[in-house]
Structure 1
């Protein structure tokens, strides 16, 4: 039998967790590890902290719940504030580890870190990676290789819906013997230790939720079964104010507190017991968009971070600090853009409709380097997901997967989605005094 470490990254849950499930089945001892890598909180290439205060707080909440939930299974979670490559040898020696389980990632920072770790591990330690972040698992999609992934979402969606399959939810592992639990206490850093001041949630926020697997389940229960808002999702999803115009699952999906498979299976259950309509389908449609950007990232690799994007377009982008500051501060000529940027700055959240508009304005109107905008979103968003963020920024900036290369008319968008100006009034109210 193995002695195993499960290295948690963006899979902060015990349900539908392949790495955890397989480790528990194959091991006489299982330990969970999460690294608070200082690199994740450093200033990035474009001058923004990679992880800002909103996502940092959500992460700490998520880790606390993971620690609690693993403990119920008699599994300890070691939370280590250091680089993984600095501590893994020590962990392997201390616990006589024979196997390392983790979710498979493929973007540059994650692959670089894993390479640094595997280069120092004893050869006897088996490293076992599992894809566990997709709705349609890479082994189940109707494409022979990642190179065959279509460039256009509609083709990808139709083929997956027709010929792909969604796997069943992996159950929570059975409780391990008491002796598996270590005597260590949760060594969870504070916001202050991560370089942030404590803060209160803005009462205007559309995302008043906390991080964690249990919190994700509470939200799912409320949105599906108590309020039945899923039944009108497509009609309300372009909303701007309040917590229920959309599912708000994105933050828990981003750090893996919940899996797309769990959401999908619950939608199907809702369709069986309550109603099946275009609205219920549309949430599955959005989960497919999430998959699409992950597969585009797998197909194109580091091109998703390059100025030309996956289309390798050669545009003349601006790098004007004054324009950037006005955009970030919500002081552009467009009040609808300003309101959205203020919401992001004060809450770490912005609606899908808002994101499309501020992105289009930044790249198409102001003609500034789209990667600066993407990096700012990376820093600020609670629900930052590397593939969705950079994929959507490419898409809306004309260097990605939009075959039509659209430019948003901000004024007509504001008139259509905020006709009474209530949203703009909410987020521009400081200017009224």
Structure 2
């Protein structure tokens, strides 16, 4: 048993099914929950877009407020610091004389670099960094293959994983946390983070609000209040309204809810209302999320290269400022693309169907470096997740995991198939 430990929260802002928190409580007499606003997350990337735009920044602030409130009911609270984690976390270790820092394990390149830097600084203070894999549905250790041998084709990965691996049960939320007195939470403003405030357009599919409480409320609504889960497979390609899909992605991305918690609820739901293709399909989509995360473990930096993991030429490497601006601002030659891009710009969200179309349009019709599109999504998306975003963009650019190589969407056909009465276009293109 160690005397004092820090729990460094990152994109795991929850109490339910949080192994990092559970293990810290079990192994330490006192626990100090911490969140560090990493200044690197608010910089402008090499592509000219901010790494975090206003929608996600606002969602993050709401999530932290909710986490702090939940921790306080358990006798703790959340310490907030700002700066570089490799500077701020060791400072707190010294302040509290902590022997260990518990944190979520990272897989993407920049996040791994930060983790290593923190570990190096903690080592100088004779403090350990313990990390836990808390983001996926299947635990990496339970996969029927080593990371380097994971199939690059999703279907092969899915079939073998479903057949030979088990999903672990979620961890129960702690009943109490023994912490020293933690001062009242003081969150930075959007201005402090260098982000301008924007309000979500009233046409948004959902008024997304951050936090575990909101995530669980959304699950209750989608599963039990409306039983929308039973028709998910038929409606998931929708584009207008709150319930054509689960909309769990922003909370999953911020870790306000875990994939395993959702899975356990799907199983409960199936006991009550019956299992069908739709209840399975939600789990299938969670598996896609796992797949990209494991691909990042396997390929590391390659998903950020122009050639992707295929190491072959994709679309053009060019940058045409005018075309980029038309795409971003929804003034291209395609009304379907424009409606989707306006929705993204004004709400931070876009349907899965929309994302595939605007990415295909960017890569194929505009023929620009796909990474510019991925970087713009990184700034705008309220549900940005590094692995899913860059993995999906590489896939559509033909340099990722798509077994068919170059995937091309016929935008007009897609518009007719998925917005045949133009309800979506009318919503976003009518002033």
Superposition TM-score, scaled by structure 1 size:
0.97
User: 2:386 aligns to what?
Assistant: 386
Structure 1 residue matching 2:192: 3-state secondary structure: helix
Matched, 1:130 2:129: no
- Partners of 2:297 and 2:77 lie apart in 1 by 32
Q: Which residue of 2 aligns with 1:278?
A: 277
Q: Deviations over 1:128-166 (max 9, x none)?
A: 1100101000011110x2111101100100011100110
1:166-193 CA distances to partner (integer Å, 9 max, x unpaired)? 000100113134xx24141101111222
For 1:184-214, what per-residue CA distance to the aligned partner results, in whole angstroms no more than 9, with x for missing partners? 1101111222223433321100131200001
**Residue matched to 1:62:** 63
State how 1:107-122 maps to structure 2 within 5 Å.
107-121=108-122, 122=124
> What residue is the counterpart of 1:313 in the other structure?
312
Q: Which residue of structure 1 aligns with residue 33 of structure 2?
A: 32
Asked if 2 retains the 8 angstrom alpha-carbon contact of 1:76 and 1:181, the reply is: no
Instruction: Please tell me whether residue 214 in structure 1 is matched to residue 213 in structure 2.
Output: yes
Other structure's SS at 2:121 match: coil
Structural mapping, 1:23-422, within 5 Å: 23-121=24-122, 122-143=124-145, 145-177=146-178, 180-315=179-314, 316-404=316-404, 405-422=406-423
The secondary structure found in structure 2 opposite 1:198 is coil
Asked if the contact 2:136–2:260 (Cα under 8 Å) also holds between the matched residues in 1, the reply is yes
When structure 1 is superposed on structure 2, of 105-114 and 390-399 the one drifting more is 105-114
- Relative to the length of structure 2, the TM-score reads 0.97
Tell me if the contact between 1:80 and 1:187 (Cα under 8 Å) persists in the aligned partners: no
Count of aligned pairs between the two proteins: 427
1:84, distance to aligned residue in structure 2 (A) = 1.3
Specify every segment of 5 or more residues in structure 2 that has no aligned partner in the other structure, as ranges: none
CA distance in 2, matches of 1:302, 1:75: 38
Distance in 1 (alpha carbons) for counterparts of 2:395 and 2:206? 25
* Aligned equivalents of 1:309, 1:85: Cα separation in 2: 29
User: For residues 132 and 333 of structure 2, what CA distance do their matches in structure 1 show?
Assistant: 47
Deviation at 1:73, TM superposition (A): 1.6
Which string of whole-angstrom CA distances, capped at 9 and with x for unpartnered residues, describes residues 10-63 of structure 1? 100011001100000111110011111121111101000000000000000000
The answer on 1:18 being equivalent to 2:26 is no
Q: CA distance change for structure 1 residues 183 and 318 in 2, over 3 Å: closer, same or farther?
A: closer
Segments ≥4 residues shifted beyond 4 Å:
none
Aligned residue for 1:80, secondary structure, equals strand
Q: Hey, what's the Cα distance between the residues in 1 that align with 2:234 and 2:370?
A: 30
Equivalent position of 1:9 in the other structure: 10
Distance in 2, Cα, partners of 1:148 & 1:345:
39
Q: Counterparts of 1:256 and 1:279 in 2: how far apart (Å)? A: 24
Q: CA RMSD in A?
A: 1.1
Partners of 1:163 and 1:183 lie apart in 2 by: 45
